[in-house]
Amino acid sequence: MSSWLPRGLVMTAVHVIARVLLGVAVVEAPLNTTVWKTLAIGAVVLIALIWGGIDGVADARANPDPDDYADLTVRWLQAGLLAGVLAGLISWILGRSVFAGIGEASLFIELIAGGSFTALLVFVPAFMGAAVGRWITRRDQRKNDADDDWSVHPDRDAEHVAS
């Protein structure tokens, strides 16, 4: 199974669950819509950010040389696109048949606009998380490396030593 497929499917499930819970919350407490929307988007973003960070840490530990890093950008872009399309389709079906509160948009709008938004909600935080995860791991690896400051190295030429 491709590494982007489980990420995309899980993020689809997270987005659909957040959207269903958002629909229920908005119907039950319509005056707090902004709070509920913020929490739903925050949940999707936080899960993508943490998972991307875990991917970044794991990749940096497996490949100490940055030139050997795996392509997490494409992995998370594919996962985001899959999550966007599937979450849009599932949300449209649920909105038409089960939960009237999760949206009244047409299928085209759900797939194009909603799918694009969902893809960005997954891709951008995961990409940032991967970058931060790699940076933290590289920083820890550099702390453990020997100091290579040649200005104080014993093998340095005598004529280059500062007086």
Residue 114: both structure tokens together: 């909603």
Q: From CA 88, how far away is CA 115, in angstroms rounded?
A: 6
pLDDT at 141: 83
Of 28 and 9, the structure prediction assigns the larger pLDDT to 9
- Stretch (H or E) spanning 162: none
pLDDT per residue over 87-144, tens digit each?
999 999 998 888 776 777 888 999 999 999 999 999 999 999 999 999 999 988 888 7
Share of the chain above pLDDT 90, in %: 60
pLDDT at 147 over 90: no
What DSSP string runs through 113-132?
IIHHHHHHHHHHHHHHHHHH
pLDDT tens by residue, 44-80: 999 999 999 999 999 999 988 888 898 999 999 999 9
Of residues 39 and 143, the one with the higher pLDDT is: 39
HEC readout, 72-139:
HHHHHHHHHHHHHHHHHHHHHHHHHHCCHHHCCCCHHHHHHHHHHHHHHHHHHHHHHHHHHHHHHHHH
Neighbouring residues of 8: CB distance < 8 A, sequence distance ≥ 6: 78, 79, 80, 81, 82, 83, 86, 122
Give kind and range of the element (H or E) at residue 43: helix 33-62
